[in-house]
Chains A and B, each alone.
Chain A
Amino acid sequence: MEDRTQLNRQLAQMLKGGVIMDVTTPEQARIAEAAGACAVMALERIPADIRAAGGVSRMSDPKMIKGIQESVTIPVMAKCRIGHFVEAQILEAIEIDYIDESEVLSPADDVYHIDKRQFKVPFVCGAKDLGEALRRINEGATMIRTKGEPGTGDVIQAVRHMRKMQSEIRRLSSMSEDELYEAAKQLAVPYELVRYVHDNGRLPVVNFAAGGVATPADAALMMQLGAEGVFVGSGIFKSGDPAKRAQAIVKAVTNYQNPAILAELSEDLGEAMVGINEQEIALLMAERGK
């Protein structure tokens, strides 16, 4: 495997067991870092506000992203639109640590994702199931996350995507070797990737949960379902006491299998983000980019 791809997969390995937080200002970035975030996602509007504002949502102003890069020492990620390889080129030019080719922004291309192998900078992509995950990895993504339903504070879709992915991984693992060719055909992915999942019982890259995580319990739920870390978008800075909630979610991810600690962490966190039920939303962002 190419050196750069390997190094980019390995950066994701360093983020494991951690929480990546959406931030819109240097001040929020510093709160996130102090709370123990392992990286921040710099964006102009958090997903809940993107959803509320409607219209076309694009890459953030590079100046705003640079302001956040200068304010923290942890990795800084930023989003570009699905298929918008020039936004990705711009983010690479400002030396972003990870690009999220994200369905939360308005897709720029309804057929093609970015050819991520053309970039030195790493990409994380969303996936609802194993086929989507392996297609993104084949295009060069070096980290995967569930799509969830961003900005809702409703964890149901992240749970659905993670369960589906894990169950498909288990199914592949138990197949006989001659069944793998047909599985590759059905998933619309190369045989080598199917073979890797069959042999190792996991994706070849790190797999995080994203979308709708609002409480320490949500974060621990995703970890128990097999996530290797958690993205928290609107859940922190749309809540009553962001610093306290951020710290609690960080510790919940470390101690996700310890209900006694989770109980302590869940106490007295102030108001959680209000949230919208999955059935109440008109726009399903997770349906963007398959």
Chain B
Amino acid sequence: MKVAVLALQGAFIEHEQMLQRLGVETTEVRNLDDWQQYVQSIGTNDQARLIIPGGESTAMTRIIRDEGLYQPIRQAILEGMPVLGTCAGLIMLDDQHLGTMDIQVRRNAYGRQLGSFNHVADVQEIGHSFPMTYIRAPYIESVGPAVQVLAEVDGHIVAARQGRQLVCAFHPELTSDTRLHEYFVQL
């Protein structure tokens, strides 16, 4: 198995390190060529998977559009490619950006950096006491009927799944807990 990590900006190396710990190969996607090569390299017994990391969603949106990555990635997700979006990656999948998930997101929902925090909570399907790091994080304000809510903190949705799209407002790649990544590679 080889997982593509969108490497335009942000904490993509941390996701790669997480997958390497699980013995999963990774490749960085920085432009359309990288993406096309990755898709072609996937054999018929395997399938493409993508991680959209944390970072700044405005920066990623700018580059994803200019590099011609917007349509092919959107198309692949709509055709059922598993995708994991963390923090900015969650924002990228919402109805205002790639629009593949039926979620409405509030950006910088906890305010500026002074509002960043750590927390521990259960995540459905993934397990108990999951460590959660929130950095200038968003949360999900509302979801459509196809979306399964996986975790809530203080009444706000912080993790959700729609088909093979998995999102969280926190950063599992910044902790040593690999459970969420294990779940993703089995989606």
How many residues of A are counted as interface, with CB atoms below 8 angstroms from the partner's CB atoms? 39
Q: B44 within 8 Å of A by Cβ? A: no
- B residues 77-106 in Cβ contact with A at 8 Å: 87-88
Q: B66 within 8 Å of A by Cβ? A: yes
Which of A30-38, A208-216, A269-277 lies on the face that meets chain B? A30-38
Q: Smallest distance from the beta carbon of A66 to chain B beta carbons, Å?
A: 12
Beyond A17-B8, A18-B10, whether A250 also contacts B63 by CB under 8 A is: yes
Nearest CB to that of A9 among chain B residues? B174
Which of A50-58, A144-152, A180-188, A251-259 lies on the face that meets chain B? A251-259
Contact A74 B10 (CB under 8 A): no
B151 — which chain A residues lie within 8 A by C-beta? none
Contact B62 A14 (CB under 8 A): no
Beyond A14-B10, A95-B114, whether A74 also contacts B58 by CB under 8 A is: yes
Q: B142 within 8 Å of A by Cβ? A: no
Give CA–CA (A14, B88) in the complex, Å. 9
Contact A17 B174 (CB under 8 A): no
Q: B162 within 8 Å of A by Cβ? A: no
Nearest CB to that of A77 among chain B residues? B113
Nearest CB to that of B54 among chain A residues? A14
Give CA–CA (A74, B56) in the complex, Å. 7
A7 — which chain B residues lie within 8 A by C-beta? 113, 116-118, 133, 135
Q: A3 within 8 Å of B by Cβ? A: yes
Contact A254 B14 (CB under 8 A): no
- A residues 114-155 in Cβ contact with B at 8 Å: 120-122
Contact A250 B59 (CB under 8 A): yes
A97 — which chain B residues lie within 8 A by C-beta? 112-113, 136
Contact A38 B66 (CB under 8 A): no
A253 — which chain B residues lie within 8 A by C-beta? 9
Contact A258 B31 (CB under 8 A): yes
Give the A-binding residues of B (Cβ under 8 A): 7-14, 30-31, 54-56, 58-59, 62-63, 66-67, 87-88, 107-108, 111-114, 116-118, 133, 135-136, 171, 174
